[in-house]
Amino acid sequence: MYSALPSITGKLELEYEGELKGGEAVARELIRLAVGRIFNRYFEGANLGQVVQWFDLGGSLKLDETVNSAGMVRQLGGIQGLMEKTKALGLTANEPDAVRAAAAEFILEGLHAHRRISRNEERGFGAEEKKREGPREEAKPERPNFRRQYN
């Protein structure tokens, strides 16, 4: 899907020229929203905690475009529980590797769309960064309202 970004952004530049975000950011957000909606149709209420936990425990994945489908399925199969979840999409173990890889990557994109895992521009997935609270500001003691006396 992301390989279509140049054609999408070319169309968006006319519409969003001058926006601070830029056409590519708008296109990425549109793709994220679309994937999220389709993902909900298949996985609303599904327990994908095992997949998310794999990333939270330090797992990461970088999908290389030069790897064949069988190699991709091997990589994606290393993520606990991921390939089993493709059954919700109607897939069986007899499906071609390309279909199984695409389905597993769709699940990862859906988890990214819902901000449960992170994704980088090099087709890599990792744990979602948790927001950390900054150091708390200690309450400053109120100073009495003193007026300086002048002579």
Q: In this predicted model, what pLDDT tens digit does every residue of 122-132 receive, in sequence order?
A: 657 778 776 54
Mean pLDDT of 56-85: 90
pLDDT at 69 over 80: yes
Domain count of the fold of the chain: 1
**Tokens found for residue 19:** 């926006």
- Residue 90 included in any domain: yes
b/e string for 113-146 if b means 16 or more Cβ within 10 A? bbebbebeeeeebbbbeeeeeeeeeeeeeeeeee
Residue bearing the bigger pLDDT, 148 or 68:
68
Q: Are 47 and 76 in contact (CB under 8 A)?
A: no
- Residue 91 included in any domain: yes
**What is the extent of the structural domain holding 111?**
2-127
Mean pLDDT of 13-28: 62
pTM of the complete model beyond 0.85: no
pLDDT at position 41? 92
- Residue 134 included in any domain: no
Residue bearing the bigger pLDDT, 111 or 22:
111
What does the alpha-carbon distance between residue 46 and residue 49 come to, in Å, rounded to a whole number? 9
- Residue 35 included in any domain: yes
- Residue 148 included in any domain: no
pLDDT at 147 over 60: no
**Tokens found for residue 48:** 């994908």
- Residue 132 included in any domain: no
Q: In this predicted model, what pLDDT tens digit does every residue of 84-109 receive, in sequence order?
A: 999 999 988 789 999 999 999 999 99
